[in-house]
Amino acid sequence: MSFVENVSAVEAILFAYGEPVPVDMLSEASGIDRPSLDKIITLLNDRYDEMNSALQVLKLGSAYQLATRLEYAPAVKNVFETGRNAVLSTAAMESLAIVAYNQPVTRSFVDTVRGVDSSAVMQKLVDRGLIEEAERLDVPGRPIAYRTTQNFLRCFSLSSLENLPPLRELQSDQLTIPEAAGEDENEENGQG
C-alpha cells in the first residue's frame, strides 16, 4: 500500500471501530509499524486542523480514537440526548474521583471515604462505562476492585491518568461536604 492508502486505511479503521483502538491492534489490522502509525496520526490531525474539521484523533493511553472536537459537543449531545449522557450527580462525581485517584479500589473503600453506601452510585458508573472491574482481590469475600476506563479518559479529555489535576492537600477540618439532596440522597441510600 502507498502512504496515502495507509493514511486512508488508518482513518477507516478508527472511524469504523468507533471506540479507542489499542495501538498494537491498529498496527496489526493496518499492517503498519508503530513509528509510521504515529506519523499517520499526526498527519490526520494536521489535515483535520487545516480543514477546520470537527474531527480529531485522540491519544488515550496506548490507544487512538477518532472523535469530534469538544466545541461541537453541544450539537452532538442534542442528537444523542439519552439517559447515558445525563450529568453525573455529586455522589457519582465523588465516587468517580475516589476511584480515579486511588485505583484499583473496592466499593467498601469508596464507602469508607464517602461515609455512606455507594453501591448504587458505583453501579451507575459501571453502567455508564466510566469504571470497570479491575480484578477480584485475594481476600475473604473476593471483593471487586474497580478502575477507570478509556471512556473515562475520553469523557474528561485526558490522554492518561497522569493528566488528572493534582489533589489539593486538605486538612480534615478544612473539608466540608454539603448535605446531599434530591437524586444524590436517593443514590447514597441505594435508591437511585
The pLDDT score that the predictor gives to residue 74 is 86
Low-confidence ranges of the chain (pLDDT < 50): 83, 170-192
CA 137/CA 131 separation, integer angstroms: 17
Q: Are residues 89 and 65 in the same domain?
A: no
The pLDDT score that the predictor gives to residue 138 is 86
Q: Are residues 128 and 166 in the same domain?
A: yes
Please name which of 130, 163, 173 lies closest in space to residue 58, comparing C-alpha atoms: 163
The pLDDT score that the predictor gives to residue 184 is 43
CA 192/CA 183 separation, integer angstroms: 7
Please write the tens of the pLDDT for every residue from 4-14. Answer: 899 999 999 99
Q: Are residues 115 and 157 in the same domain?
A: yes
Look at the chain and report how many structural domains it folds into. Answer: 2
Q: What is the CATH number of the domain that holds 127?
A: 1.10.10.10
Domain final residue, candidates 12, 43, 69: 69
Q: Are residues 98 and 138 in the same domain?
A: yes
Element (H, E) at 157: none
Q: Are residues 152 and 176 in the same domain?
A: yes
The pLDDT score that the predictor gives to residue 116 is 92
Which residue is it, cell 472491574?
A: 133
The pLDDT score that the predictor gives to residue 103 is 92
- Domain hosting 112: range is 83-188
Residue 75 lies in a domain: no
Residue 79, CA distances (Å) to 19, 69, 75, 166 in order = 18, 15, 7, 34
The pLDDT score that the predictor gives to residue 85 is 52
Residue 18, CA distances (Å) to 12, 30, 67, 165 in order = 10, 16, 8, 27
3-state secondary structure of 144: strand
The pLDDT score that the predictor gives to residue 47 is 96
The structure's pTM equals: 0.49
Please name which of 155, 166, 167, 165 lies closest in space to residue 60, comparing C-alpha atoms: 155
Q: Are residues 105 and 169 in the same domain?
A: yes
Query: Environment class of residue 138 by beta-carbon count within 10 Å: exposed (0-12), middle (13-18) or buried (19+)?
Result: exposed
